[in-house]
Structure 1
Amino acid sequence: MLHYTYLLINFFAVIVCFIFSFHPKIKFNRFFVPFIKSAVLVLIPFIVWDAWFTRMGVWWFNDTYLLGVRLLGLPVEEWLFFVCIPFSCVFTYFCLDKFFELDWKPKIDFYFSVLAIVLCLVCALLTVALIYPFITFLLTGLSLVYLKFIAKVSWIGKLSFVYTILLPGFFMVNGVLTGTGLDQPIVNYNSDHFMGIRIGTVPVEDAVYGYMMILWNIYFFKRFSEKYQ
């Protein structure tokens, strides 16, 4: 039964959102196609990054909790993670945006975005010797630069607020993956490559990594779902 652990984590992370996506007041099922398109687009670079770091030994996976099927050196459950978690996050963003007025004033969104960019780039400079936080903070900062100043999106503050709401659930899921409640972690981290700051059992870098992943999922989801409105 232990071999199904990671698979069950993915299942329980997505099943409630999936069921409610068919609710007549939500009708998120109408947006499954744009979600799948956005998830696949974002999945590709993240899988490459994941496979690279796995090969380098930045992190690795405990076979005790896996089915044993691997693609590009990654457990199939890890591939599903990049679909299940974005689905729940995009669904939550969609619902909150649909039923509540969450838009930020343009100036506030602009200043928040600039602050987030500066913080990410400063953190990248401070962790240049540690590959996981350095790349995570750098790419998140550059992602924000692109989204705010090139794509000119107006929802970074709103998405950041929703992501903050989602963080407890994020830490619950990642907590189990990193060893909370288990005899051993499912995902192990090489202490030579990250800051060593954890919230519970979760490296703080994971929260930034997840934030960047959701930024791009929302960006492409909005692009692809325009004709479904």
Structure 2
Amino acid sequence: MNYIYLLINIGVIFFPLVLSFDKKVHFFSKWKFVFPAILITGLVFLIWDLLFVKLNVWSFNPNYIVGISFFGLPLEEILFFLTVPYACIFIYECLNAYFPANNLQKYSLALSNTLLGLCIAVLFFGYSRWYTVINFGFLFITLYVVEYRNHKFRFMYKFYRAYVISLIPFYIVNGFLTAIPVVIYNSKEILNFRVGTIPFEDHFYLMSLLLMNVYLYEYFKNKAHQKEIDN
């Protein structure tokens, strides 16, 4: 039973890793952009995670982790910030390769504005809850920077499509993590509205995690492309 969270991590990354050598997507050739994005984002979210443990926002069930920890975080939780972003960026690239036509381009700004408004509303009603405040505050800042301060490359219409598809494995993986439960939430620090066993905030935690990863991934790709042009 101690290996449940570890097995979930392995399950998340197994197929994306094996399929990274697909001839059409050639995802392995993009690892030089993928891993820096994952590393930088992972460091930010690990600090966030440590803060939440200190604030008693969530904790980890010792019955479902191997017992190896770093800086107070289980090994599996650290791996989570590698396996989940890798799988999500893989989904993002697969969709772009196999389905290049994307009608969301004309609606992406409206979607972003709606989400910014949602962040403000949720912050107003959930200001006394740590997970709610930090989660939606971070999403608001990230969305604003990407949508209104990023003029060199546009990708939000591709991001939203990948996010929606990523919700499918999200409900499976997070459903297990919250139902068993592997991760135990403090009900005083969340809105306590759940989809099944999954806190409402987790949907937007995933969005923040995926958005920062994709933004940095696109940034590194664009930078390399620009360097090729200049040379």
Bin of the TM-score, shorter chain as denominator length? over 0.9
* Cα offset, 1:105, TM superposition: 6.5
- Rounded Cα–Cα distance in structure 1 between residues aligned with 2:60 and 2:203: 19
Q: Which residue of 2 aligns with 1:173?
A: 173
When the two structures are superposed, what TM-score results if normalisation uses the length of structure 2? Answer: 0.92
- Rounded Cα–Cα distance in structure 2 between residues aligned with 1:53 and 1:67: 21
- The secondary structure found in structure 2 opposite 1:60 is strand
2:72 corresponds to 1:73: yes
Q: Which residue of 2 aligns with 1:158?
A: 158
- The secondary structure found in structure 2 opposite 1:188 is strand
2:230 corresponds to 1:225: no
- The secondary structure found in structure 1 opposite 2:117 is helix
Assess if the C-alpha contact under 8 Å between 2:104 and 2:158 holds in 1.
no
* Cα offset, 1:225, TM superposition: 2.5
Assess if the C-alpha contact under 8 Å between 2:104 and 2:161 holds in 1.
no
Identity, in percent, stands at 31
Q: Which residue of 1 aligns with 2:38?
A: 39
- The secondary structure found in structure 2 opposite 1:205 is helix
- Rounded Cα–Cα distance in structure 2 between residues aligned with 1:119 and 1:198: 17
Q: Compare 52-61 and 218-227 and name the one that shifted more.
A: 218-227
Assess if the C-alpha contact under 8 Å between 2:21 and 2:27 holds in 1.
yes
RMSD: 1.6
- The secondary structure found in structure 2 opposite 1:170 is helix
- Rounded Cα–Cα distance in structure 2 between residues aligned with 1:197 and 1:212: 19
* Cα offset, 1:102, TM superposition: 4.3
Structure 1 residue ranges, 4+ long, deviating more than 4 angstroms after superposition? 104-107
Gaps of 5+ in 2: none
Assess if the C-alpha contact under 8 Å between 1:124 and 1:135 holds in 2.
no
Assess if the C-alpha contact under 8 Å between 1:125 and 1:134 holds in 2.
no
2:195 corresponds to 1:199: yes
When the two structures are superposed, what TM-score results if normalisation uses the length of structure 1? Answer: 0.92
1 or 2, which has the higher helix percentage? 2
- Rounded Cα–Cα distance in structure 1 between residues aligned with 2:3 and 2:172: 18
Gaps of 5+ in 1: none
Letter in structure 2 aligned against 1:139: F
* Count of aligned residue pairs for this structure pair: 224
Q: Compare 149-158 and 40-49 and name the one that shifted more.
A: 149-158
- Rounded Cα–Cα distance in structure 2 between residues aligned with 1:201 and 1:26: 34
